Amino acid sequence: MKALVADSVERMRALGAALGRSAEAGDVLLLRGALGSGKTELVRGLAGGLGCEARIRSPTFNLIHRLEGGRLLLHHLDLYRIRDARELEQLGLDEAMGEEGVAAVEWSERLREFEPTEALCCDLSFAGDAVREIAFAPRGLRGAEWARQAFGEEADVGTRG
């Protein structure tokens, strides 16, 4: 799988914006990467691509932010502080990852058995001081279609799940 490269915050947001412009209701973006790898910046771009002008903050203390004002509702989830499945059950994931809008889930590896079967997985990694590699792996047909709509043939998108 060929990873896309972001060498600036602006490029990371541009990649997110491409996802936002091509997102459809029910799309789920599963974000994985170390602290500081650019997950929240990608979500800022996603929100911009949806036309949402709300301030995007890392929702570490409020685990779910519901952001309105764009062409689709955006649920921004941060699961960094989740420790076990009981906590996930109490979050209302069905609503946040339902078909009403788009969901962006930071620290998605903590979803475990709650991971949706249709999603676009995004692994972010450090490739230098200000450079990040972003690898996309779709789950299901819609995930693959979303990646191709957003990035065309620029991303050699692998599959997962």
What is the rounded CA–CA span in Å between residue 140 and residue 145? Answer: 9
Amino acid at 93: L
CB atoms within 10 A of CB 26: 17
The alpha carbon torsion through 6, 18, 28, 104 (nearest 10 deg) reads 60
Structure tokens at 149: 């709509």
Residue 130 lies in a domain: yes
CATH of residue 132's domain is: 3.40.50.300
The pLDDT tens digits of the residues spanning 6-35 come to: 999 999 999 999 999 999 999 999 999 999
Residue 36 lies in a domain: yes
The count of structural domains within the chain is 1
User: Whole domain around residue 54: which residue ranges?
Assistant: 4-151
Residue 158 lies in a domain: no
Residue 160 has pLDDT above 50, yes or no: no
CB atoms within 10 A of CB 109: 14
138 neighbors 121 (Cβ within 8 angstroms): yes
The pLDDT tens digits of the residues spanning 29-87 come to: 999 999 999 999 999 999 999 999 877 776 556 787 788 889 999 999 888 888 877 77
CB atoms within 10 A of CB 83: 9
Q: Find all residues with CB under 8 Å of 71, minimum gap 6, and list them.
A: 50, 51
Residue 87 lies in a domain: yes
